[in-house]
Structure 1
Amino acid sequence: MTDDGPLPRVRAACLALPETSEKVSHGQPTFFVAGKQFAQFRDNHHGDGRTVVCVRVSGGDEQAMLLDVDPETYSKPAYLPSWLAIDLARADTDWSHVEDRLARSWELAAPARLLEAGGR
């Protein structure tokens, strides 16, 4: 993957959020807030040929609704129940939307003290 691919954009969006860090988890660049996972970048994960970022959602209802509304953008990621994978390989990727979903995922994982302090 080149420096102009999706990982640098995902990395920049994630690391701009308060108290975030990155480490490799299960062979994938994974992002944490205060030690809790909120996003994972996957490129050809287990040979699936896809480039996605996985984010938290509030629960099964939100996951099902988003999968139903936009199945070309969203999919269920392997090994992460109640999360969504966002397709990053599309030519029309809406990066503002991706950044919003990353921030929302951060909010779902962040400790109360960060949210009470104004969050992002």
Structure 2
Amino acid sequence: MTEDDFRALCLSLPETVEGANMGSIYFKANGKDLARLLGGGRAMLTGVPVEEVEMLTEAEPDVFWADGHFKQARCVVATLERLEPDVVRGFLERRFRQVAKKSVLKAWEG
């Protein structure tokens, strides 16, 4: 997956916006982070339970990474070139359901 592929997946979700902050590109829905492009072929996925972060980093350390800060923030860093679009879509859609406005979510799911 490339940064452009990642960007397209993020922006395919309704009312998702792109911006820049602290040296990374963010994608937000309803003012809340969905994901970030960190540069260097890495992306940060948000809204991931700590237990899942630990499982992912142990099972696939060549794909996923997180230190204590990321774990507590419920985030995992992923190597883009090793990610499959369906995996990214799953993370993004789950997070979108957590943060989107109910009316936007209803229209999207309908």
Counterpart amino acid of 2:9? A
Task: Please tell me whether the aligned partners of residues 3 and 80 of structure 2 are also in contact (alpha carbons under 8 angstroms).
Answer: no
Task: Please tell me whether the aligned partners of residues 57 and 63 of structure 1 are also in contact (alpha carbons under 8 angstroms).
Answer: no
1:89 maps onto 2:87 in alignment: no
In structure 2, what is the Cα distance between the partners aligned to 1:42 and 1:102? 16
**Residue in 2 that maps onto 1:104:** 94
Matches within 5 A, 1:7-46: 7-44=3-40
1:52 maps onto 2:42 in alignment: yes
Task: Please tell me whether the aligned partners of residues 47 and 75 of structure 2 are also in contact (alpha carbons under 8 angstroms).
Answer: yes
Secondary structure of 1:54's counterpart equals strand
Q: In the TM superposition, what whole-angstrom CA distance separates every residue of 1:88-112 from its partner, at most 9, and x where no partner exists? A: 134xx32221222222232233234
State how many pairs are aligned. Answer: 108
Identity across aligned pairs (percent)? 24
Counterpart amino acid of 1:85? V
Q: Deviation of residue 11 (structure 1)?
A: 1.1
The alignment's TM-score, normalised by the length of structure 2, stands at 0.79
In structure 2, what is the Cα distance between the partners aligned to 1:71 and 1:11? 23
Q: Deviation of residue 82 (structure 1)?
A: 1.5
Q: In the TM superposition, what whole-angstrom CA distance separates every residue of 1:48-101 from its partner, at most 9, and x where no partner exists? A: xxx1111123421121122222222111168642101111134xx322212222
Q: Deviation of residue 17 (structure 1)?
A: 0.3
Task: Please tell me whether the aligned partners of residues 30 and 41 of structure 1 are also in contact (alpha carbons under 8 angstroms).
Answer: yes
List alignment gaps of at least 5 residues for structure 2.
none
The alignment's TM-score, normalised by the length of structure 1, stands at 0.73
Structure with bigger helix share is 2
Name the CA shift for 1:113/1:65 in 2 (closer, same or farther; >3 Å). Answer: farther
